[in-house]
Amino acid sequence: DVKVTQSSRYLVKRTGEKVFLECVQDMDHENMFWYRQDPGLGLRLIYFSYDVKMKEKGDIPEGYSVSREKKERFSLILESASTNQTSMYLCASRKYSYEQYFGPGTRLTVT
Amino acid sequence: GQQVMQIPQYQHVQEGEDFTTYCNSSTTLSNIQWYKQRPGGHPVFLIQLVKSGEVKKQKRLTFQFGEAKKNSSLHITATQTTDVGTYFCGTGGSNYKLTFGKGTLLTVNP
């Protein structure tokens, strides 16, 4: 059974903290993605990666960075968390142009 | 990049009524995917359409891709409470990135 896992379901951080969100997939997918989901705004792409050490900016990359050192792992980094980064963060992976598999999400609250 | 507009944003129905959500683009789409996200859950893939005029069915769900490949629809016949959730359409380009619509939230009154 295919699986995308995320390191935390819920996370509370303080303004200015550095935050790491981890995502692991066990399907040997080339492509991995980070989205944030906010009410009324749908799924907005932050960054994606199509290979190890390769990354591309999505629609809202400001304030975020990513790391992909291994094929199965894609990390999202908030260098200095701010309250407007309070959101649901969803990781996903995909092989070529087939269906996308999402992780369970991390609900991040920045206080 | 490709963009898709999804309507309506919200739809409330009585159980047993039909439901349709639409996904529209001003440009020709290479493909369209549909996902369902249950409340508190994550999006789950339903189907992919790639051919002009394609129609696919999954039990009470019917998916269509327009002849011009600029729009798509998801129709649910005789809704049930288990159909509650947000339905997203997404389309992908050559870089494997999917662009999603904002989704349609369906609520069903039992």
3-state secondary structure of B83: helix
| pLDDT, tens digit (0-9, with 9 covering 90-100), for B47-59 | 999 999 999 999 9
Is residue A93 less than 8 Å (CB to CB) from chain B? no
Mean per-residue pLDDT for B86-97? 83
Q: What is the mean pLDDT of residues B6-35?
A: 96
d(CA A94, CA B6): 23
CB < 8 Å to A104, chain B: 41-42
**Contact by Cβ (8 Å): B23, B32:** yes
The whole-chain average pLDDT of chain A stands at 95
- pLDDT score of A96: 78
A100 with B45: Cβ contact below 8 A = yes
The answer to whether residue B2 scores a pLDDT higher than 80 is no
CA distance A34 to chain B (A): 11
Residues of chain A with C-beta less than 8 angstroms from the C-beta of B43: 43, 90, 100, 102
pLDDT digits (tens, 9 = 90+) for A47-66: 999 999 999 999 999 999 99
Mean pLDDT of chain B: 94
Compare CB distances from A102 to B31, B43, B97 and report the shortest one's residue: B43
- CB contacts of B100 in chain A (<8 Å) are 42-43
pLDDT of residue B5: 95
The string of DSSP codes covering A29-98 is -SEEEEEEEETTTEEEEEEEEEETTEEEE-S--TTEEEEEEETTEEEEEESS--GGG-EEEEEEEESTTS
Cα–Cα dist A103/A93, whole Å: 9
B73 in Cβ contact with B21 (< 8 Å): yes
**Segment B36-62 mean pLDDT:** 97
Backbone angles phi, psi at B81, to 5 degrees: -65, -25
User: Is 80 exceeded by the pLDDT of residue B82?
Assistant: yes
Distances (CA, A) of A84 to A43, A88, B94: 16, 12, 32
Confidence at residue A95, expressed as pLDDT on a 0 to 100 scale: 86
Residue of A nearest to B43 (CA): A102
Give the C-alpha distances (Å, rounded to integers) separating A34 from A6, A22, B99.
Answer: 11, 10, 12
